[in-house]
Every structure is written in structure tokens, then in C-alpha cells.
Structure 1
Amino acid sequence: MPASSHHLSPSVIAVALPTPLRRLFDYRPGQDIPTQGWQPGMRVRVPFGTRQMVGIVIEGRDTSEVPAQQLKSVSAWLDDRPLPEDWLWLGRFTARYYQHALGDTLHQTLPVLLRQGKPLEARTRERWHATAQGLEIDLASLDRAPRQAALLALLRQHSRGLVMPALTAQDFTRAQLSALAKKNLIRHEIETLETRSAPTRGGLLAEPALPLQRQQSQALAALHESLDAFQPYLLQGVTGSGKTEVYLQLIEAIVAKGRQALVLIPEIGLTPQTLARFRKRFRVPVVALHSGLSDHERLDGWLAAMSGRAPIVIGTRSAIFTPLAKPGVIIVDEEHDGSFKQQDGLRYHARDLAVVRARRHGIPLLLGSATPSLESLAKVESGDYRRLRLDQRASRHPPAKLELVELRGRSQQGGLVPPVIEALRQTLAAGHQALVFINRRGFAPTLACHQCGWMAECPSCDARMTWHRQPPRLICHHCDRQQRLPDVCPTCASADLRPLGTGTERTEETLAALFPEVPVHRIDRDSTRRKHAFEQTLEEVRRGEPCLLVGTQMLAKGHHLPHVTLVAVVNADAGLYASDFRALEHSAQLLIQVAGRAGRAAHPGRVLVQTLHSDDPHLRLLAEQGYDVLAEQLLEERRAAALPPFRFLALARFESAKAEAATTLAESVALALRQWLEQHDLAVDCLGPVPAPMERRQNRYHVQLLLGSARRSQLHEASAWLIQWLENHRDGRRVRWSLDIDPQTLS
């Protein structure tokens, strides 16, 4: 509908509501349309069944398929202006591309308070100051109002003034403030909570930029060539090569032009250190957006970005939907990281949406990684992305090479073999720190009976339960089921129950026994549940005293640990031989990222990788020639096998409490889809259905159907047909199903 008609009142407005139904819902506009008329992107409260829901107006219509007398009216218009156009456009694109209901997509991409219908305005607070008259007056003249005199005396001591909560905390009242304001002795101003405007004095930088090495300067010069145009760059830099400094200096140029920068980071654990570094560098407001914030904090940040008050926005994957008043650049740090893909509900990939969004805004996109995804490397190969390299570390030490340590035929203590224990001893004796990486939390992967071979299986999943020592429990890491440790084997009643394998807790216990004189810090999801526990532990480590770190993937990403000179990987094999075709790529990335924690400062690093397969050709190639050479080989293998990034996939998942129900529906839709593809002559493969790699999870059975095509448009056409068939099929309402476009895992 043309913009001019927004001010007219249409007969019908189509509203997107947060339901799984892929359609809009028609309503009469009602009486209270805002004075400037309706517009797409306005929020409304409407009756839906027996309840009221908040929806987004999408378009106006002259007629509806629903008879006029059955149409309900809008209960309330919540906005007098629409939500940002760039947010609405991206939401509509996301729903269309990922084959998800538009109403649910828009709902998921809004801050919680806006979903609930709260006003589209940032929280504000009053800041009270003494006036010129208040500064000069003799306090004795207020001796008949001692509390007013005390209040004025307090405000005279604070040149920047005091906010209302600080005054009420000292038992001053609104009446006392009003009385002094009437006498023109004090005044107040309203400021938004999250951000104040940028400083007028002192310039943009709070501290000077660091001098750049030659490759950093070349990368920054290349980026300056297209500050006003869409151009995707891949900044491939070895760990510790100063990618963040390039980001900071690029952002300086963008903000100096009056524009905004959006920075996506993979993990909430990286947010404090990233925020600290950015806030230390810039005098302008830097806003964070992630799941650890309160609903009010999140809305404040969202609105600060929307209004342009926040020139720099840093967030995890959902921050890609943050509206920007003056977009200038989008940066995706650790672009290869799997956490940029949402794995349930709206299954979007933030990195891929960043590409789409940068193209729409006509701004540069910078993807940074030491171990780029094969998708991004293929884009470099095809000429779509421009690669910028940083091969030299700031520490001047080259990245440590992986040294493979054979596990076969060697005794182990807590999963560690003697040469690795000796290397740990030498590192500590030299006054340095060491990181022991084990991608398995808990004390041991499972509990086993040494008499009959029984193992602790999860009753709800096709998985073994993990033995945790603190507190003593068996826990399934797939469904979170917990049960106490058995005293005897439930099968043969033997008391000879032993841990099988090694987890972070067991390794921590072993290291504490081997090196009683140094602290051992365990960092995994269990040990960092308390708020700020992660940052507090890292703070202790950064002081530099000799210590041992035992960690999972949480430690592999982006953390600067300057005193770590040795990294020991307990078991490199766990991810190398998984059934997923991406397992080798992800394992190689993880190994290189973990290795990058060593030797980042004054001393060179060493990386020992324990493996049962030291002769594996892929592992040897990674250790001897590095990630680039392995990635080239993996790309060739993917091209030969017609797998992503040379083919596009969609994965339909079906789950039910009854295995037969999920299988029957999957078989029915596969048969119907194959017939439809044949009739329409589309080059789309339909593989399956087959049981999921873990067929039973949380007492539900999982079945999969894989669609693949060399043409994205044909895959989307087939996907849309499949969804329509499932929505209209009777069994499609009895079995839970979902469709994942561009799945990152086939499990």
C-alpha cells in the first residue's frame, strides 16, 4: 500500500500475531486510530480467541475473506509511530527465508517488554542540581526547614547533581524537592537511563589507539576503501594477531562520520571483556544486548540503538535484529562459531543475516576469525568476499604448533599421560600457567559395573548419564534428568562401580592431587552458574601467579590469558569421528582456537594434543600444515560429495512420544514430496526418513528427512510446499515437527 494511503483508514488491517500459523489475521481498525493514521509496523492489542494479544500491523486491505460481521476490532493502538522500518524489513526477510511464521518471527525479535505491549520509550530518571541562586544562598535562611537545608547542602556538594534514587536513599522526599524548586534553589533535568549523548569536549577516544603492525595497517586501509558501500570482508587472523584493534580503529572512523557500529560476538562469556575494552577506548555510549540483561536493560539498549543515542552496539546473535538509526558497519567476531545459529524455534543464523542486512544498508561487513567457516572460505574463493590476512601475532611468537601425543598403550592419571603431566610440571616450575582442555563436564562420562559391564544409561534418552561429584549425581546432559548414585549395580548387585572415562571434575581432582601447591581453576557450565563467577575466576588467572586451568569450550573462544604457555588437550578424538559431516571442520576450529590461548604474551606457547589416532591423515595435516591447508582439502571433499557450501540443505525433524507416529508422518510427507517434485521437475533430493543420530531424547522419538539442492530457490520452493502439506495434514497436528533451513548440525 502506498505511503500516502496510510493516513486513510482502511476497511481491514492485516496483523501478524505470535502464533505458529503462517498467515496474517484480519481486524477492523476500530475507533482509536492514532491521529497521523495507521502505518505498517505499529503495534496493536487485539482479541484472539479468549485472550488479548499484541500484534504488528503489516498492511491495510479493502476487503477480507472473513465476512464483515465476523471481523473483530482492534482493542487498542499501542503506538503513535511505527517500529523501525529496518527491523520490520529484516523480520519479514527472516520469516520468508527460514520458512517461519511472520508473527512469531517478529515477536521473537522484539525485546520482551515491547512484546507485552509496554510503551516504546526508554526509562528516564530525574537528576537534581543546585541552581546559581541555590549555590549562593545562606543555608541559615532555611533554618525553619532543616531537611530542605540538608537537601540543598547535599546538592551543593555534587556539581553533576544527584539522581532521584540517590536522594530517596537518604530519606529526602518529593515534597522537599518541590519546595526548593519553587524557591528556584534547585532544578532537575530528565535523562535516559542507558545513555547520555556523546561528549562535546575531549574528542571521541578516551585513550589513544594502539600502533598497528604492517598487516593491520593494510587491512584497515582496505576497509577504508568502502566505508560507504556494501562489501563483505573476511579478516582472517591467527589468534592473538590483533583483530580487535582493527575493529576498534574501523569503528572509530565509522562513529566519527556520525554513524553506528553493530558488533556481534558468539558467547555471553565474552561480553564483559569486550565491553570493557570498547568502553575504555571510546567516550561515546557503548550498549550491550544479550540474554544476561534484565528486560528493562534490554529495552533501554534497544531504544538507544534505535534512536542513534548509542553509536556502538555489542551483542550476541539476537542483537542482529537491533534497529539502527544510522548504520555504518556490521562486525561479526569469531564468524565460524556455531552459537550464531539458533537451534530451536526460529532457526536463523546471525552471520548470514548480517550479510543480508549489510547489503540492504549498503555498508561494509567485517567477518573475523582465526579459523573461518568453510562457507566464508568458499565465498572468498568465488570472489564474493575479500580476504584480509593477519599472520603475525602481537607477541611476536608464532602460533604454537599442535604436538600429537599418542594415548595407545600408555597409563593415564585423570585422563592425562606421563609426558603431558611432565610438561605441566615444567610449565609450573617456570612460573607460568597451563590450560587443560577437556570438552566434557562432570567427573566421568558415565558409571560402569566392573563385574557385569552395566553402564548408567538415561531412562529417557539414547545416552549415558554423566557422573558429577559436586553434588554427587548422575545427570543426563541431553534432557537434564538427575538421579542419585546407586550403592550397588542394579543388574548384578556388585558394589564394584567405577567411573568410565574422564570429565572436567575428575581431571581437576587429579591435577589437585598431582600439584597440591598450585591452585586449580575449573571453568565449565557447572562451575560458572553463579553470577560473575566466570569473570572472577578469569580475574584471578590474569594476576599471573602459576596455576592450572581446566576448561571446556567456554575457555576456547577469544579470552586473552597472557600467562598461559602450555595447552594440553585431553582427548582430540571425541569430535573427529562423529556422524555429522561438519564434525571434522568444527573439531579443527576448536583445536586451533584452544591452541591460540597459549603463548599470547612474553613467552612462546606449546600445545599437546592427546589422541588415540595420531596417524589420522586429517589430524596430521592440521598439526603439520595448519588450518588453511586442512580447510582447502575439506572444501575439495565437500565439493566432490555435493555438500554445503556447494549445496543447500533443509532438514525436517519429526518427534513424538510414539516412534511409529513420527515415522509414519515422515514417510507420508516424503512420499507426497517426491511425487510433487517429479510433477514439477525440480532438482531437489529427498533423503530419508531415517532415525535421528540420537533417536530417543526426553522419552520422545526423533526422525529426520533431508532435502538438498544445488539451487537455493528450488530448495525453498520444495520447503514451502512441505510446510503447507504438513499444516494441512491431520497427522501434522499430532506430531511435533520443524524445518531447519541451512542446518548446522544433522543431529
Structure 2
Amino acid sequence: MSSWPHRLAVVVPTPAHSTIAGPLTYGSEFALPPGTLVRVPLGQRDVLGIVWGEADGDALPAGVEKKIAGTLEGLPPLGEGWRRLVGFAAAYYQRSVGEVALAAVPPQLRELSPEQWERRQRRKTATGEGAPADDPPPLTDEQAGALSQIRTEPGPFLLFGATGSGKTEVYLRAVADVLAADAAAQALVMVPEINLTPQLQARFVERFGEGAVVALHSGMTNPQRLKAWLAAHTGAARIVLGTRMAVFASIPKLALIVVDEEHDPSYKQQEGARYSARDLALYRGKLEGAKVVLGSATPSLESWQASEKGRYRRLAMPSRVGQGRLPEVRLVDMNHQPRGTVVSPPLLLAIQERIARGEQALLFLNRRGYAPVLACTACDWKSECPNCSAFRVFHKIDRTLRCHHCGFTERVPRACPTCGNLDIAPVGRGTEQLEEHLATLFAGTLRPDGQPARVARMDADTTRAKGSLEAQLGEVHSGAVDVLVGTQMVTKGHDFRRITLVAALNAESALFSSDFRAPERLFALLMQAGGRAGRDASRAGHSQMWVQTWHPDHPLFAALRKHDYPAFARQQLAEREAAAMPPFSFQALVRADARTQEVAQAFLRAASEAAQELPEADQVTVFPPVPMAVQRVANVERAQMVVESVSRPALQRFLAGWGPVLQGQRVKGLIRWAVDVDPLAI
């Protein structure tokens, strides 16, 4: 038996497929409540652990059991709701509890010894909350109706609001309601991407004061994340704004969760525990009795179907605030344009009209760099990446070839590496080339103040430096930019008041993708992009969205022209139901990385054969393994296998039983494997 008066189960940071499946047992001189953060010995070092409860039975022989090294005094234990959320996420997404739990704790906290924590506590100073600056604007009838239902009904709610309908104001009022009802209550507001956090944080700080609001996202430094996490955990921060990682924040008095742009794929984690923050937000709300509001102009088909079935309460806000109107949608049939046309003549004319009126135009092309490929005109050489089954992108501004998968970068060669030909040329177009092309076309175009028109580009390359995104957004908002070129990062959430024309170039490759979710993502992208135009009522009368397409008769564009998301959703759900695809079935992917494609697929085939013996095998379909779309990345070969069932519980039971089978497969040359439950890309 243990020589310590108390034996505690402690979760420690373990990888998903570790031989350590659950909590470890440690001795303690004192009883510690579940959720207490402790330092414990693991191997040759001390690590942060979380007390999960009393240990059951004799996990280790007498004399072998290790003792807890210390506790982080003064830090309240992590609550039961948080622990249950972590336990559910670990089980559902087929990961270890320790991996999920410790990944949700700030990195700096994981490294602090009890002595360092004590010193930090002595240095800590209190911060005031601040006075709201502005009075809230009056509500529209649609906003008031939505808020009334949020106040009086349990939810969860799907706030189906057109771009510019004032969803953010509904969020602000809903947060104000729960904070006013309970002096200790807290709210979590989630956004899909880091670049949307600052402007939303400014709105909330303006309304509630700086001390009441903290942000949590991966772009923060470790000290910033620790400070924000502690403010939320201790209740000092009433409002937490964050990206998907914030769903695991310790918020002990959680009363409301808002998931803005709930359809966005960024809510799905793509590494480690591949969780959906939107789905976990719904589960967390149910666990902790918090209301949940999902907001979008283009809801995910899963959420739309849930609202059709009555599982979510749908709140409709189809009108824009004030006199703003959704833009007129115009399709340009590229089959009738001159060969090699980049921007069609009628679109160019429409942009020039905007510049002449002092308005702005936004053109988006979802491909950064100058050109996707550099090729030799004399032989078959192309700028392939030596490490990936993909081409390196030509970036003209720094004369490099850069792989957007593994990051491998080289200077552009002076001549073809294969045949020595000096004539190597870009093939295709990216945002960098589009910016250059438009700058040439509008070189003689003047603004109303007599100054030459200015073209600017906003993508991952131009916003890499610290503060560059904010600076560029400031120039757009001030009117210093006339034509903005960018990737899809400029189409989401931004309130550009001067933009009256949005154009989508080369957006339709998704129409014929092998991924069944591609049309849904394309429709959402186009609707969101169009929503950047006409947000200022004084300019809304002539706001337009232009789409250059080779397939103008596709049914997706018919729904887009009418801004008719329900019609698009009906058509897509009918197709999905006929094919028994999600949300009418449930899927998981098993992915394997190996030195060769043969090894990766051999692992998956062996796993598939072993799966036939599992109790739930007759309710699950395991499809044959295939290479991933980008087969090789950083000299690692990748393959995947789809697992599908019409029953979510049956799929979960199957995966739980399959985990040890997968772990037991020993294939030479296998690097790693992972299970992705509810994958967003196949």
C-alpha cells in the first residue's frame, strides 16, 4: 500500500497514443480537490498536472508510487464543468485526457514551479475595469425580436443574419443582459480568425470597459496568454474573446457563449486533438447551463439542418441596419471575354466609376504570391517542391520560389535548371500579380481630389510583420486605398464603409472538387465577400458584387444572385441526403504518415482488416485507403482512410474499440497516425 495518507489521480501531458492512457497515481500529504494544479515528477523532470480525483485501487506497488512535488497555491481549482468538457473532448476526438487538458492550460503556467508561481503572485497588481464610452445604438425590430427570444428561451440559437444586419450589436446586448443579471456571470465570445479579434475587442472594450475584457488566441505572447487566462479563471475578466482555443478557457461562471461566423472552417483544429470549437461550445453550454448563440449569414449545413429540425432556435435578421442594401450580383461569362482576360472590360469600367466617385473596390483571388507555378518554355521543368507533391509558388517581390506546404524557399534560378533555357515564365496568377496588373491598368486614373488611384494588397505575405494588418486596415478605412486586392482574409467580418464593389476572380474551381463540402464553402465565401459592399446606406444604392465565371448557369450562382441561402441549403441537403453524406451520416478519417506511400497504405489496410473483428463493425463502413490530395509534404508520404456510419454512437463505440488495435499495429517506416472525427476536408 501507499505510504502517503492520500492517493490522487493526476492527469499529465501525454501524447495521444502514449502507453499512459489515463491519470497517474501520486501520493499526497494533504487531500486536494479535483481541478487543483500541481507539479509532479514524470520521468526525469517535474511537469504540471491536474488532480482529477481520488485514485482507485493500487496503481503502483508500495514504495514505487511518487509524491506530488507541490501545488500552485492561491489558484482556484479548475471547475467540474471544465473537467467534464475536457473528458468529453478527449473521448470524442480519440485523444488522451492529459494531452487535451494540459494543452488547454497556458504554456507559461505549464513551466512555472510552485516557487516561481508564488513570486509572481507577490508581484501581481490589480487593474480597474474602466466607464463605457458610448451609448448603444437603437435596435432594429429584427434585432429586438432576436434579443427577446435569447432572453426568454433556453436555446441554443442560430442567429441567421444577413451581412450588415447588426449581429454584433445583438451579441453585445446579450452579453450585457447576462452580466447585469448576475454580478459574477461571464461570457465567451468566439471568432474564427486572429485578424478579427482586435476590431471586435475594441467594440467590447468601448461598451464594457477595458478591465472587463480579455482576448485569448495563438498570436499572443506566453505572458499575455497567462495573464488573460488567469483573469478569466479567477473571474476578474467578465468577457473572454477568442479563437477556437478559447473554448477550453477556464471560465467558472460561464453564462453565455457566442460563436460568430459559426460556419467557418477555422473553428476545426487541424493538428493534435482535431476538435471542432463550435461543437464543443454547444456541448459546454449544455454542461454548464450557459446559453449558446451561433451566428452566421451562411450557416453550416449541419447547423441549418439542426434549426430545420427544431434542435436549434432560428433567429432571422434578413435586413441590413439602416438603409443599407445587399449588393446586386452580376455574373461575367468568361467564355465571351477576350482570350487571356484577367479582369473583364465591363468590370474594369465599373471599378473606374467607383474610383471617380471616391468609393472603393475589393477584388479577391484566393491564391497568394505572383504565380502558382514557374515553368520553362523549352522543356517540361516546373517549379516543383523537392519535398512535397506540390509546386513552389513564384513570389516576384523578393524573387523567390516558396512552397506553401513545407516552407522550402529558394531564389528564382537565372535559367532553367534542366535545360539552361533563359526563358522561364510564370503560369497562372496570384494576388501579387493581380496587384501589379491593376496598378498598371489604373495608372492614369484619378480620384476626385486629383490624386492618382492607389492599389493595395492584403494577404498573408503583406500582413506578416507585427502591426502590419492593423496599419493596412487603417489605410482602407481612411480612404487612402482605392482598390484593395486580397485573399479570403479580406472577405470576413470587416466593416469597410466605402466599398461599393466586390469582385471574385477565379473562385469556381471548388464547383468541381472531389470534396463534397467544397460548394458549401464557396457559397459562404462569395456571400461573405459580397457582404463587404454597400454597408454604408449613403452608397448602398449602387453596390455590386461581380463574379467572373466560366459556368454562369451553375445552380449555385442562381441562389447567389438572389442572396438566397435557404434555397442553396435545400439543394445541397437534398444532394447530401441522397448520397447519405453528412449531416445524414457521420465520418472519421484515419490518416497515416510514413517514409513511403506503400508503408502508409499498408498500415491502413492492416488496421482495416483488424477492424472487421470489432463488435460495431457491421454498423460502420471502412473505405479503402488512398493517398491524400497533397500526397507528400516535407518528404513525408500521407494516406488516409474514411470511416462512415449512419449512427454517431455506433461510430464512437467503433473508434473507441479500434484505438488500441491501431496502437498495436507495428509497421516499419510508419511515422505517425491520427484519427480525425467529423473531418471538414476529405
Q: Shorter-normalised TM-score: what interval?
A: over 0.9
Q: How has the CA–CA distance of structure 1 residues 512 and 121 changed in structure 2, closer, same or farther, with 3 Å as cutoff?
A: farther
Distance 2:481 2:224 in 1: 38
Within a 5 Å distance, the mapping from 1:2-81 to structure 2 comes to 9-11=5-7, 13-20=9-16, 21=18, 23-30=21-28, 33-34=29-30, 37-61=31-55, 63-79=57-73
Provide structure 2 residue ranges, at least 5 long, that are not aligned to the other structure: 444-451
Match of 2:235 in 1: 308
CA positional deviation for 1:568: 1.2
2:658 maps to amino acid: L
CA positional deviation for 1:123: 5.7
Q: How has the CA–CA distance of structure 1 residues 344 and 368 changed in structure 2, closer, same or farther, with 3 Å as cutoff?
A: same
Query: Which secondary structure does the structure 2 equivalent of 1:721 belong to?
Result: helix
Match of 1:455 among 382, 390, 395: 382
CA positional deviation for 1:44: 2.8
Distance 1:581 1:521 in 2: 34
Q: How has the CA–CA distance of structure 1 residues 50 and 309 changed in structure 2, closer, same or farther, with 3 Å as cutoff?
A: closer
Within a 5 Å distance, the mapping from 1:204-603 to structure 2 comes to 205-226=132-153, 230-257=154-181, 258=183, 259-283=185-209, 285-408=212-335, 410-411=337-338, 415-516=342-443, 517-545=452-480, 547-601=482-536, 602-603=538-539
CA positional deviation for 1:413: 7.2
Distance 1:121 1:378 in 2: 51
Distance 2:95 2:523 in 1: 32
Distance 2:271 2:468 in 1: 28
Within a 5 Å distance, the mapping from 1:689-700 to structure 2 comes to 689-700=625-636
CA contact (8 A) 2:595 2:669 kept: no
Query: Which secondary structure does the structure 1 equivalent of 2:175 belong to?
Result: helix
Match of 1:610 among 521, 529, 548: 548
1:244 maps to amino acid: T
Match of 1:87 in 2: 82
Distance 2:95 2:617 in 1: 25
CA positional deviation for 1:88: 1.9
CA contact (8 A) 2:457 2:486 kept: yes
CA contact (8 A) 2:399 2:412 kept: yes
CA positional deviation for 1:232: 0.6
Q: Which has the higher contact order (CA 8 A, sep 6+)?
A: 2
1:77 maps to amino acid: T
What CA deviation, in whole Å up to 9, does each residue of 1:280-320 have, x standing for no partner? 12236111111222212211111211222111111111111
CA contact (8 A) 2:627 2:639 kept: yes
Distance 1:663 1:464 in 2: 24
CA contact (8 A) 1:15 1:59 kept: no
The answer on 1:626 being equivalent to 2:553 is no
Stretch deviating more after TM superposition (372-381 or 543-552): 543-552
The answer on 1:191 being equivalent to 2:117 is no
Q: CA-atom RMSD, angstroms? A: 2.2
1:611 maps to amino acid: T
CA positional deviation for 1:336: 0.4
Match of 2:649 in 1: 713
Distance 2:413 2:243 in 1: 41
CA contact (8 A) 2:23 2:52 kept: no
Match of 1:649 among 570, 578, 587: 587
Query: Which secondary structure does the structure 1 equivalent of 2:355 belong to?
Result: helix
Distance 1:23 1:673 in 2: 20
What CA deviation, in whole Å up to 9, does each residue of 1:483-532 have, x standing for no partner? 22122223333222221111010011111111232121110000001111
Please tell me whether Structure 1 or Structure 2 has the larger radius of gyration of its CA atoms: 1
Stretch deviating more after TM superposition (609-618 or 80-89): 80-89
Stretch deviating more after TM superposition (686-695 or 560-569): 686-695
Match of 1:683 among 612, 616, 619: 619
What CA deviation, in whole Å up to 9, does each residue of 1:49-75 have, x standing for no partner? 333322222232353243223333333
CA positional deviation for 1:409: 5.1
Q: How has the CA–CA distance of structure 1 residues 681 and 325 changed in structure 2, closer, same or farther, with 3 Å as cutoff?
A: closer
What CA deviation, in whole Å up to 9, does each residue of 1:553-605 have, x standing for no partner? 11111000000111111112132222211111001100110111111102121
| Residue identity (%) | 41
Distance 2:230 2:345 in 1: 56
1:623 maps to amino acid: R
Stretch deviating more after TM superposition (554-563 or 620-629): 620-629
The answer on 1:740 being equivalent to 2:666 is no
CA positional deviation for 1:732: 8.6
Query: Which secondary structure does the structure 2 equivalent of 1:217 belong to?
Result: helix
Provide structure 1 residue ranges, at least 5 long, that are not aligned to the other structure: 1-7, 127-189
CA positional deviation for 1:29: 1.0
What CA deviation, in whole Å up to 9, does each residue of 1:310-344 have, x standing for no partner? 11111111111112232221000000011111001
Distance 1:607 1:72 in 2: 66
Within a 5 Å distance, the mapping from 1:143-158 to structure 2 comes to none
The answer on 1:99 being equivalent to 2:109 is no
CA contact (8 A) 1:674 1:686 kept: no
Q: How has the CA–CA distance of structure 1 residues 99 and 570 changed in structure 2, closer, same or farther, with 3 Å as cutoff?
A: same
1:458 maps to amino acid: C
CA contact (8 A) 1:12 1:63 kept: no
Match of 1:109 in 2: 104
CA positional deviation for 1:401: 3.3
Query: Which secondary structure does the structure 2 equivalent of 1:675 belong to?
Result: coil
Query: Which secondary structure does the structure 2 equivalent of 1:609 belong to?
Result: strand
Distance 2:213 2:593 in 1: 43
Distance 1:478 1:107 in 2: 28
Q: How has the CA–CA distance of structure 1 residues 28 and 112 changed in structure 2, closer, same or farther, with 3 Å as cutoff?
A: closer
Distance 2:14 2:320 in 1: 48
TM score, norm. by length of structure 1: 0.85
CA contact (8 A) 1:557 1:594 kept: yes
Q: How has the CA–CA distance of structure 1 residues 427 and 14 changed in structure 2, closer, same or farther, with 3 Å as cutoff?
A: closer
Distance 2:639 2:218 in 1: 31
Query: Which secondary structure does the structure 2 equivalent of 1:68 belong to?
Result: coil
Distance 1:277 1:14 in 2: 40
CA positional deviation for 1:412: 6.7
Q: How has the CA–CA distance of structure 1 residues 629 and 25 changed in structure 2, closer, same or farther, with 3 Å as cutoff?
A: closer
What CA deviation, in whole Å up to 9, does each residue of 1:15-36 have, x standing for no partner? 4333332513534415xx34xx
Distance 1:395 1:519 in 2: 30
What CA deviation, in whole Å up to 9, does each residue of 1:386-432 have, x standing for no partner? 11111111242321132111223533778322222221111111211
Query: Which secondary structure does the structure 1 equivalent of 2:63 belong to?
Result: helix
What CA deviation, in whole Å up to 9, does each residue of 1:441-480 have, x standing for no partner? 0001111222334321112112111110121111111111
